[in-house]
Amino acid sequence: MTPRSLPSSSFHGRRPLLRLLGGLALGLSLGLPALAAYPDKPVTLVVPFPPGGSTDSLARAIAPKLQEKLGQTVVVENKPGATGTMGTAQVKRTAADGYTLLVSSLGPFVIAPHLIKGVQYDALKDLDLLTVAVQAPNVLVVPAASKLTSVADVIAQQKKEPGKLSFASSGNGSSDHLTVELFWQQTGTSGLHVPYKGGAPAITDLLGGQVDASFQNINAVLQHIQSGKLRALAVTGDKRSAVLPNVPTLAEAGAKGVDVYSWQGVAAPAGLPPAVRTQIVAALQAALNDAAVKQKNAEIGIETVANTPEQAQAFQKSEFARWKKVIETGKITAD
């Protein structure tokens, strides 16, 4: 026997051990399911409002693009109720696996928790805001026949007759309602809030002259401004809107501290696996920045944001605190 050779008895003695190790490896490979790559089944976008609104339109615009990016079916489900909080609570109760996402306006994220008692989720802890998808300023509009031709006129009229000038909104606690409340707080004025059940009836009465003014979502009233049926006095953004370049901002018109945007975001139940989170965010950003989607939004005054989860959540916290203060100062309720 050479110094480097092994006795045959030693090799044969190792055969049972090798067979045992091989058997264990085979057993493990057969017994444990392979980790499936995300996504391996349809993804659902829950919209906590009825079909036909701005949020629903956004979800249906990005769904086909997400489907392309994720390689799986993406379906939109409307689960309305309680100002968007019912559908939001349902999403919170689903598994944090990336198969159920929430597409919502700012209401359930930063407003409703301060207005509605017993909301069944913590907006800052139970949801992982993945991106602020889009934003649009509100616009202060009056009927075309109104004698009010500027923000200065509106402020002067309210100071002359406090509580008399009527402002329509799409409902208590809506973005347009809270915008006028903030406007009153920042200008030291007061008017009469007239809530409607949705933006459409509010705009109808505004067009008919039954109410004096409104801070409406720009995309909802742009066609009426362009046709001359409504007069735009100011936009609530921190800059002029590209679709209304001749209309000043509220700050330019003398009402500072009322920079407001209506926005929509996409969230998931808190606790998404990091790899899944990264994949979803990349798909969302690609869908939102798709040329056709972006152009369609831009045409009606909606700006694409598509920011990161970190940016979105920092923004949500600031908005949450801001609207809490406005609601408490104005003693606003959802009733």
Q: Which tens digit of pLDDT belongs to each residue from 108-160?
A: 999 999 999 889 999 999 999 999 999 999 999 999 999 999 999 999 999 99
Is 7:1 a contact under the CB 8 Å cutoff? yes
Residue 3 is predicted with a pLDDT of: 43
Q: What are the distances in angstroms from CA 286 to CA 114, 132, 289?
A: 33, 13, 5
Residue 174 is predicted with a pLDDT of: 86
Q: What is the DSSP letter of 239?
A: S
The ranges of the chain with pLDDT < 70 are: 1-36, 335
Helix, strand, coil tally for the chain in percent (to 5): 45, 20, 35
Backbone angles phi, psi at 150, to 5 degrees: -155, 165
Q: What is the rounded CA–CA span in Å between residue 100 and residue 74?
A: 10
Where does the chain have alpha helices with state H?
8-31, 54-70, 85-92, 106, 112-115, 151-160, 175-187, 199-207, 218-226, 274-288, 291-299, 309-330
Residue 19 is predicted with a pLDDT of: 56
Domain with CATH 3.40.190.150 in the chain: 43-136+261-330
Domain with CATH 3.40.190.10 in the chain: 137-235
Q: What is the DSSP letter of 107?
A: I
CATH number (3.30.1330.30, 3.30.70.3290, 3.40.1710.10, 3.40.190.150) of 43-136+261-330 reads 3.40.190.150
Residue 4 is predicted with a pLDDT of: 43
Q: Which CATH number does 137-235 carry?
A: 3.40.190.10
pTM (2 decimals)?
Answer: 0.85
